[in-house]
Amino acid sequence: MRLLVSLLLTLCVSLAWASEATTPKLDIGKGGQCVEDTQWMRKNHMHLLKHARDDALRRGIRDEKRSLKVCIECHASTQDNSVIAREDSFCVGCHKFEAVKLDCFECHSGTRKSAWLQQRKAK
C-alpha cells in the first residue's frame, strides 16, 4: 500500500513538473476569449494578424475584432500595460519559449492604447 501511494505521488509530481516545463508562464492580462479558443489561437494567430494587416492598411477595412490594437487592449499586462515589457509578457513569453523572432513591435506599439493616451495626457 505504501509503495503504491509513493509510486502515485512520484508520478503526479513528475507529471506536474513536466507540464510546468513544457508551457511558459505568461502574464495574460485581462485575458478571455473573443476570437477563437486558446489552442486555435496559439496555432493560428499570426495568420489572422497578417490577413487583418493587409485588409486594414491596403483596403481600409478595419475589423476591430482582429486588430492588433484590440488584442493588446485585453492581453497587455494589468501591471505595466504592455505585451512586451517583461520576460513573461503575453507575446514575449511564448515567442521566447518557441524561439520565434517577434518583430511586430519594432513599429507597432506594445502598450495598451487607453493607457498610452492617459500617459500622453499626463505629459
Partner 1 sequence: MSDMDMNRRNFLKTSVGAAAVAIAPGMMLYSVAQGKSEGASSKVRWGMLIDTNQCKPGCNDCVTACNNENGLSGENNATNSQWIRKIEIKDISSGRELSLPMMCQHCEHPPCVDVCPTNASMKRADGIVLVDKHLCIGCRYCMMACPYKARSFVHEPLHDQNPDVPRGRGTVESCTLCVHRIDVGGKPACSEACPNKAIIFGDLNDANSEIAQKVHSVASVQIRADLRLNPGVRYQGL
Return residues touching partner 1 (CB under 8 A). Answer: 53-55, 57-64, 69, 72, 106-109, 111-113, 116
Q: Which H or E run contains 74?
A: helix 68-75
* Of residues 37 and 106, the one with the C-beta less far from partner 1: 106
Shortest spacing between CB 117 and partner 1, in angstroms: 8
* Closest distance to partner 1 from the beta carbon of 4 (Å): 57
Closest CA to 23 of 7, 39, 9, 44: 39
> By C-beta, is 37 or 64 nearer to partner 1?
64
Q: Which cell numbers hold the place of 91?
A: 507575446
**Nearest distance, CB of residue 69 and partner 1, angstroms:** 5
Q: Please, which residue, 13 or 34, has the CB nearer to partner 1?
A: 34
Tell me how crowded residue 23 is: count the other CB atoms within 10 A of its CB. Answer: 11
Cβ contacts of 53 within 8 Å, gap of 6 or more: 68
